Structure 1
Amino acid sequence: MAKSSEANEMSFLDHLEELRWHLIRSTLAVVIIGSVAFLMKDFIFDTVIFGPKKPDFPTYGVFCKLSKMLGFSEAFCGTEPIFRVQSRVMAGQFSAHIWTSIWAGFIVGFPYVLYEMWKFISPGLYEKERKNSRGFIFVASFLFFLGVLFGYYVVAPLSINFLGSYTVSKEVFNDIDLSSYISTVRASVIACGLIFELPIIIFFLTKVGLVTPEILRKYRKIALVIVLILSAVITPPDVASQIVVAVPILILYQISIYISKVVLKREAKKASKNVRSS
């Protein structure tokens, strides 16, 4: 089946013009949502951004009980703030307010940004490919938000608790700069959101023939080592915290292998049908 006639008739400049409008609409969506986030300063900062810093953050209660059950240290059972956050630049708080609002606009508006990207790409696909990818936006958005929640409720608190309380000497006090603190929370959230897109990435890489289940199984041990190193870097140096971070990523890797296997089976069925019809 031929691709859409509109996609065939459009010139290179037409494609650039189409891409420009998709980018403009995506940017407008981020700006509009970011403007709303800008007006919700108290909620965004006091509740969301500084939530993982507070001792009553729900994650710390769960990890406190888990640490006691497993007999590890009770580092998550503190009752006092771990450190203070300060701003040493004249426009530091205003700049943090603007950029945090923009990132909030991107996170909340991610499904629409993905939708605009899909609208640009989909006309170049075959009709069957578009039908088979109808749930792409929903699945990709679900995985992204799942990763964001994992980053916010697991990775960010672990990183903040460990890095904020780590000391080399009693003579040194941990007064963390505002931009450094926000970048830690933002990196944890965005990175996990993108990492959780692994099954989607493997799906498309398998479709274009760059990845197979055999390749993924072959390098599974290497992937395991990379995941353990990553979890050791971004979490406190105790076994329980590293396992909490590593397990979901390994599950995603295993799911990706299964997805790659399913895609290859479907491609093999299509190829056999085409051979029979010819």
Structure 2
Amino acid sequence: MAKILGNFHLALLIGIVLLLAAMFGLHGALLGDGGYDWAQFLRFLHIFAGVLWIGLLYYFNFVQIPTMPKVPAELKPAVSRYIAPAALFWFRWAALATVLLGLVTGELKQGGYTGEALTLQESHRTIGIGMWLGLIMAANVWFVIWPNQKRALGIVPAEDAAKARSASVAMMASRTNLILSIPMLYCMVAYAHFGL
């Protein structure tokens, strides 16, 4: 069992196989007769990417940032060189995937509501607010957090003062995203479940 669960790629592949088994087992007839709503599958991918993105945002804010001052100095390079860059890789690409899949899903559902949502029309105002918050957060990831983290972690050369300043800016931007994620998640859930 350890050989299977100890291998990330194998575990991920098993999860995908189980996903396909669930799709065909639960909705095989719809898949077979062309009645399957592929927008729902894109919505699933959007939610999966969103869970990965926001999960990492919460990992940074609830675990890594508060814990780093307690980590002994000789162990900090392990986080800075290995853990943080890997987490930031998945963090930024999950943010992009979440936004793109969300926009496409919005266009494929209910005759396409993305434009109405982004212009905050009454029938799609709740999801529109959630979308704008998500767009702001994704822009924050790509244009503030990631460039500053590259300097702070030494991925790109920078002087010590610039690294320290970049670390502070990245942390504040990450905390901003933490704050925005709470109403954003509410808007997404409210629209999906209450139709508001």
Q: TM-score, normalised by structure 1?
A: 0.26
- Flag the structure with higher helix content: 2
Instruction: Give the TM-score of the pair, scaled to structure 2.
Output: 0.34
